[in-house]
Amino acid sequence: MAALNEQPLTVPGTGEFAGTELELLISRAEIDARVTEIADQVSNKYTGLCPIVIGVLNGSFVFMADLVRKLSCDFEVDFIKLASYGPAKKSSGTPRLLKDISTDVAGRDVLIVEDIIDTGLSMAFLKHRIEEVGPRSVTLATLLYKQDFARIDFPIDYIGFNIPDRFVVGYGLDVDQKLRGLDAVYALKEN
């Protein structure tokens, strides 16, 4: 709850969602605790190994930065970028590669780090794209998972939080490219 005299947090700018109120969904403390748990599991899995941690731009950069700083195993990083939602809140349906990885992942252990799985189309696309190159293993991590909506036929190894089918922002996730710097996850209020 916002304190008396405190303005509710809203989407800035002049875009379609400008002025929409935000509602806290996952606090900074909850995120930190969960990221620590996932990092411990990932560290155990890769003890003595050196995975390539591939962040999916742009949304995963905050989660990825927090996650890797909690790892006790060796690792390398790389990034891949897919076409985003654009200015709309709905998935475009056909993922498109905007920037490929620059590491040769053949024979390597790969950990793909996503911000959120909505329909699951992006993660399916990425998984196939990486598997084509012949890595030793591919492991999938996502901070957020819209469990009632995602239609995927493969397991996600690490899920931070299952969330309802709401549009969320903060902790790397944007609305019209804004609000990525919020340190917790917020949902846009629906009217």
Angstrom distances, CA of residue 46 to CA of 5, 24, 137, 163: 49, 34, 11, 28
What string of H, E and C letters represents the secondary structure of 158-176? EEEEEECCCCEEECCECEC
Known catalytic residue at 165:
no
Q: Which of residues 98-117 bind ligand 5GP (CB under 6 A)?
A: 114-117
> Residue 191 and residue 176: Cα distance in Å, rounded?
19
Q: Which of 118, 153, 157, 174 is catalytic?
A: 118
Candidate list 115, 143, 156, 159; residue touching Mg ion; CB under 5 A? 115
> Residue 109 and residue 16: Cα distance in Å, rounded?
41
91 makes contact, choosing from Mg ion, ligand 5GP, none, with CB < 5 to 8 Å by partner type, with ligand 5GP
62 in contact with ligand 5GP (CB under 6 A) = no
139 makes contact, choosing from ligand 5GP, Mg ion, none, with CB < 5 to 8 Å by partner type, with none
Comparing C-alpha atoms, which of 3, 31, 19 is closest to residue 171?
A: 31
- Residues near ligand 5GP (CB under 6 A): 59, 84-85, 91, 114-122, 167-169, 173-174
Active site (catalytic) residues = 118
